[in-house]
Amino acid sequence: MAETITIEVARYRPEQEGEPTFQSYEVPFSKDWVVLDALNYIKDHLDGSLSFRWSCRMGVCGSCGMTVNGEPKLTCATFLSHYSPGPIRVEPLQNFPVVRDLVIEMTDFLEKLQSVKPWIVRKDDPAPAEGEFLQTPEELDEFKQFSMCINCMICYAACPVYGLDPQFIGPAAIALAQRYNLDSRDQGEQERLDVLSQHEGIWGCTFVGECTEVCPKNVDPAGAIQQYKLAATKDWFKSFLMPWSKP
Amino acid sequence: MKPSTAYRQYHPKWHRTRVSTLWWSRKWSYLKFMLRELSSVFVAFYVVILLLQLHALRGGPEAYLEFQQWLENPLLVILNGIGFLFVLFHAVTWFNLAPKAMVVRLRGRRLPDVLVAAPNYAAWLAVSALIVFLLLREG
Amino acid sequence: MANRSNEPLLWALFSGGGVAAAFLIPILFFLYGLAFPLGWLQPPDYERTLDLVRHPLARLALFLLCFLSLFHWAHRFRFTLYDGLQIKHLDPVINLFCYGGAVTGTVAAAYLLWTLP
């Protein structure tokens, strides 16, 4: 079994160079090491200047998304042994501007996420004394899958439409909007429609389906988007054919 | 040059990669997607043939015979063979993906995709059989 | 209510066209494109074909097939041009070509079906 494995890491230091370069490192190979372990080994022992994001190292925080051998992955969930004997190429997440090394600029995603109001929206405002909202297991089942999103943006890296048109709201944001639309406690569907039904909101999606393929939490954002298209279309026809009905 | 007195936030120069025009050729799943989208061209192609057929029908028996003979041209047969495969691809991918948009819930659980797609396939077979029956039976 | 785009209408036509094309075109393409020209099956003759197509239900069905299938193509091809060739900045030209083409074909279909002998 190999003792070490080569990791080719994308480096980008704007104060030094105008274009990204690659730097190779030899890291110890262990069957239970993931790519994140290798990156941390590099930072701890070989090259302290390497910059990358990580946190929980167990696939729930969504911080460590990067491109590994061309595929968007959570580096804490990607084993070195999968790519043995290597080399393994690690690059920043696609479709986002690169700030430094493996760190990408994610403000665009955060703004889009906020624009879809990913929280319970109520028209009324019942006092806590009136009691909790009750929800049956069936009602929970309607949106549970979409609530599993950890905002890792791997779906954005896989989505060719987002890469081509930065105005596209993107898989995760739409899936989370749908998560709240389907929540029986929520009353904000119309408010979200105003944002999402705009030209680039959801209509840029051509159902490539790659977002669902790469999602590490099986959220199926592609499914959420198609459901949303159908709901938005029904709503459009309703407002067109029955403009007097209350939204 | 006089330095600006207003505070300017330090902003490192980001690197943005331009998406290649051949992005869809890089991954098999992207290529499959492109082929699926291009199947719509053969959908339109069939409509054009249908319109030509209707035009020939209006023109009388000789015109219709000419149309039928035109369809026998080997180049056209090859094109139609390719077109048929593409519209078949369209139908199969359409029925397989339709359950994603139309969620059917029964007794509090979501029906698995295959159970939503299956009736579509059955209806497709039935409609196709009906058309064959209508066209091929004795007058 | 904020100003919403008209994309939902175009998407609805795309969807309807996808369904119509999926159900009807494979078998028709197979018969008229391959089976009849290659002699695998005997096609209906001129009189029989005219009889079948003349029926008001047949005319309606064929019109809807043409109309919806063309708009299905128009919508899908428009996005293929955006994403495949990255020419989204030519939006007005693309829209004219795609939806204009679909409208032209639909008008032609209506005319041909209405004026059958």
Per residue in A51-98, pLDDT tens?
999 999 999 999 999 999 999 999 999 999 999 888 999 999 999 999
- Chain C, 80 to 99: residues with Cβ < 8 Å from chain A are 80, 82-83, 86, 88
Rounded Cα–Cα distance for residues B53 and B64 (Å)? 7
Residues of B in contact with A210 (CB under 8 A): 27, 29-30, 33
| Interchain CB distance below 8 Å, A98 and B16 | yes
pLDDT surpasses 50 at C1? no
Residue of B nearest to A21 (CA): B15
Residue C77: band (very low, low, confident or very high) from pLDDT cuts 50, 70, 90: very high
Q: What is the pLDDT of residue A156?
A: 97
Strands B105-106 and A88-91: unpaired
Tell me the CA distances in angstroms from A162 to A109, A201, A202, C32, one per residue in order: 10, 11, 11, 41
B28: its two tokens: 């098999």
CA-wise closest residue to A157 among A174, A176, A170, A173: A170
- Chain C, 44 to 103: residues with Cβ < 8 Å from chain B are 44, 46-53, 62, 65-66, 69-70, 72-73, 76-77, 79-80, 83-86, 101
Q: What is the pLDDT of residue A80?
A: 96
Residues of C in contact with B135 (CB under 8 A): 31, 43-44, 52
Least confident span in A118-122, B4-8, B60-64, B77-81:
B4-8
Taken as a whole, chain B contains a residue count of 139
Rounded Cα–Cα distance for residues A202 and C43 (Å)? 45
pLDDT surpasses 50 at A162? yes
Q: What is the pLDDT of residue B102?
A: 87
User: For chain C, what percentages of helix, strand and coil (3-state, to nearest 5) are there?
Assistant: 80, 0, 20
Q: What is the pLDDT of residue C32?
A: 95
Tell me the CA distances in angstroms from A196 to A115, A151, C79, one per residue in order: 9, 18, 18
What's the complex ipTM?
A: 0.93
C85: its two tokens: 């060739």
| Interchain CB distance below 8 Å, C4 and A190 | no
The residue type at C74? A
- Chain A, 39 to 98: residues with Cβ < 8 Å from chain C are none
| Interchain CB distance below 8 Å, A193 and C4 | yes
Residue A195: band (very low, low, confident or very high) from pLDDT cuts 50, 70, 90: confident
Average pLDDT over residues A175-185: 95
Sign of CA dihedral A236, A240, A241, A244: positive
Q: What is the pLDDT of residue C2?
A: 45
Residue B104: band (very low, low, confident or very high) from pLDDT cuts 50, 70, 90: confident
| Interchain CB distance below 8 Å, C11 and A203 | yes
Residue B3: band (very low, low, confident or very high) from pLDDT cuts 50, 70, 90: low
Residues B124 and B131 sit within 8 Å (Cβ to Cβ) = no
